[in-house]
């Protein structure tokens, strides 16, 4: 049995250890990531990459986003809450490339580096932006569309939004490529469905009704592309070439079955990993490039199982 003096010494030592452990926990670099959403498999894959980097580099990472990619105000609340915790750095994927500027300025004034990921912001505040070259990727989607419809005919776009950098660049990359290279292709409509499958489905039904002779539709993110597919199935429309963007089980299944011609895949795990890695470098004061290109690839049923492609697809 411990005597009183030994017991006190033991308790004191335990208290010191607990205090020390608490201090160590507090000293661990904390990096919250505020995403554009959480519902799509794409964002789950980004989170997996961030978690992988956190484990590798010994930092604490949290990952959150609004329920839908239309909730700009909710995302601003999340960014404000993250700032209030005084983190070492913040990863941020903007729903609205301008709305976040006041909060980003607060972060800058507090000496908290911002790493933009997936979708950049109209500001020079972020230390870098980890992203796909969406202009080039969407241009490739346009080239594939032109090839598949024989270089002529009516096409439309269903895009997730017109406020985020990704929405703007995927729209413009596709449209500009068509205008520059394919004079016999007419873009008859561009609609925005907030990346929501149901909303994108209804938008696509309206496009199909207005343009029964349409030859192709580009869905600019996972939710948009699945909405396009659903509308085509529900209306029994035949002969429309569908090209998507991102991955996810539904798109992969549709490509294997031939319902979707193909899609652009990003490298979402790489985006999450590189965002955390860049945040750590920024905290240490290291020089970062203006952009970190996470890459993209075209995939269809001919190459979907190739190791190089399979490595950047996700469910």
Taking the C-alpha atoms of 127, 133, 134 and 140 in order, what is their torsion angle to the nearest 10 degrees?
180
Per the listing, tokens 């002529």 go with: 152
Closest to 268 (Cα-Cα) out of 298, 289, 244, 248: 248
- Domains detected in the chain: 27-132+268-295 (3.40.50.2300), 134-265 (3.40.50.2300)
User: In degrees, to the nearest 5, what angle opens at C-alpha 209 toward C-alphas 207 and 210?
Assistant: 65
N- to C-terminal Cα separation, the chain: 58
Provide the pLDDT for residue 26.
Answer: 52
Q: What is the mean pLDDT of residues 208-230?
A: 98
At residue 14, does pLDDT exceed 50?
A: no
Q: Report the distance separating Cα 158 and Cα 163, nearest Å.
A: 14
pLDDT above 70: percentage of residues in the chain: 92
Over the stretch 116-129, which tens digit does the pLDDT of each residue have?
A: 999 888 889 999 99
């Amino acid at each position: 049995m411990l005597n009183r003096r030994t017991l006190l010494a033991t308790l004191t030592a335990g208290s010191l250890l607990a205090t020390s452990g608490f201090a160590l926990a507090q000293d661990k670099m904390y990096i919250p990531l505020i995403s554009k959403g959480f519902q799509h498999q794409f964002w789950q894959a980004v989170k997996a990459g961030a978690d992988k980097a956190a484990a590798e580099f010994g930092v604490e990472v949290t990952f959150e986003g609004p329920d839908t990619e239309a909730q700009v105000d909710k995302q601003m609340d999340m960014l404000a809450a993250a700032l209030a915790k005084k983190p070492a750095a913040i990863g941020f994927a903007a729903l609205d490339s301008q709305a976040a500027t006041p909060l980003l300025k607060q972060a800058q004034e507090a000496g908290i580096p911002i790493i933009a990921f997936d979708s950049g912001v109209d500001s020079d505040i972020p230390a870098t932006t980890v992203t796909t070259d969406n202009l080039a990727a969407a241009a490739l989607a346009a080239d594939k569309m032109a090839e598949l419809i024989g270089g002529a005919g009516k096409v439309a776009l269903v895009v997730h939004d017109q406020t985020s950098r990704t929405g703007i660049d995927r729209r413009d990359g596709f449209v500009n490529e068509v205008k520059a290279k394919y004079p016999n292709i007419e873009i008859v409509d561009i609609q925005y469905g907030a990346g929501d499958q149901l909303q994108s489905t209804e938008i696509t039904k309206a496009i199909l009704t207005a343009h029964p002779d349409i030859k192709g539709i580009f869905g600019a993110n996972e939710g948009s592309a699945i909405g396009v597919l659903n509308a085509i199935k529900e209306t029994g429309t035949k002969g429309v070439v569908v090209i998507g963007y991102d991955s996810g089980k539904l798109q992969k299944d549709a490509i294997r079955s031939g319902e979707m011609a193909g899609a652009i895949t990003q490298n979402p795990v790489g985006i999450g990993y590189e965002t955390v890695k860049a945040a750590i470098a920024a905290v240490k004061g290291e020089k970062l490039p203006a952009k970190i290109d996470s890459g993209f690839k075209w995939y269809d049923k001919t190459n979907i199982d190739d190791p190089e492609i399979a490595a950047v697809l996700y469910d």
